[in-house]
Amino acid sequence: MAALMLRRRCFQFYWRVKRIIAPQLPDAQSTYERRLHEHVAASERWLDIGCGHQVLQAWRGDAERGLIESARFVVGLDLEQEALKHHRSITRRVSGDLRALPFPDGAFDLVTANMVLEHLPEPLAQLREIERVLRPGGVFLALTPNLHGYQALLARCIPERFKAALVKLLQDRASEDVFPTYYRINTGAAIEQLAAASGFAHVAVNHITTEAQLIVMPPLVVLELLFIRLLMTNPLRRLRPNLIAVLQKGCA
């Protein structure tokens, strides 16, 4: 109870300081959610890959269920069967490997991936599979860390044996939700290059900011917010911590 109260006070401090330093700072997950709504509305068949046990953030359960209900046909795919068993909104769930998706060519209008690309060991082969299961003109929408962003740079400096504990401290995530990262497709240039090699006709990559990560460390989070405020300027946009990629399959 004391730990929960302390965490709550840290967040209260953060929101006060944020209103002063970076009041317009958006959260990457909120930006992704808005883009997701746009594409789901224009699609009939949607595949969410690496779906785990949720599509949106933990506290966006009602919004997620509304999004799923608005979609005509949704399938969730993940390699982890235990996560699939506990998915809170998608009822059609499939266990499968991204290197050999268990779907026919052109099966979906939309494929999405929320914080998945950084975990791909063979991104070229896996992108080719995503392109294969999209219909002509279909879209792949992904949110992923930017390799050149400060969060990914710091994460790569931390020994693997400490990462689970740090993620628990900063994000209150369970150790079973922490997976190996490769960052083999985590720059704008890498996405564009691999998307073209996979057969995608159109690629758009946006560098986006997100909430601070050091919320439970009040003195440090002030410095982080000041740095994020600099990242919100155009000259430093390529150092922003996240990327949103939209890859479209050709119509021919």
Q: Establish if 154 belongs to a structural domain.
A: no
* Number of domains within the chain: 1
19 inside domain? no
Q: What is the pLDDT of residues 52-108, one digit of tens each?
A: 999 998 889 999 999 999 999 999 999 988 889 889 999 999 999 999 999 999 999
Q: How far apart are CA 31 and CA 16, in angstroms?
A: 22
Q: What's the sign of the alpha-carbon dihedral 151, 152, 158, 160?
A: positive
Rounded CA gap, 134 and 175, in Å? 33
Give the chain's mean pLDDT.
90
Domain assignment present for residue 14? The answer is no
This prediction has a pTM of 0.92
Instruction: Flag whether pLDDT at 229 surpasses 90.
Output: yes
Asked whether residue 99 is domain-assigned, the answer is yes
Range of 57's domain?
A: 28-146+180-210+241-249
The answer to whether the CB of 68 falls within 8 A of the CB of 103 is: no
- Asked whether the beta carbons of 24 and 60 are under 8 A apart, the reply is no
- Name the one residue in this structure whose structure tokens are 């080719």: 128
Parallel, antiparallel, or unpaired for β 242-249 and 134-145? Answer: antiparallel
231 in a structural domain? no
> How much is the pLDDT for 217?
87
Residue 177: pLDDT over 70: no
pLDDT at 82: 85
What does the pLDDT look like over 190-213, one tens digit per residue?
Answer: 999 999 999 999 999 999 999 999
The answer, yes or no, to whether residue 179 has pLDDT greater than 80, is no
Instruction: Say how many C-beta atoms besides its own lie within 10 A of residue 164's C-beta.
Output: 15
Higher pLDDT, 26 or 4: 26
Task: Tell me whether residue 43 is exposed, middle or buried, using C-beta atoms within 10 angstroms of its C-beta: 0 to 12, 13 to 18, 19 or more.
Answer: buried
Q: Is the pLDDT of residue 27 over 90?
A: yes
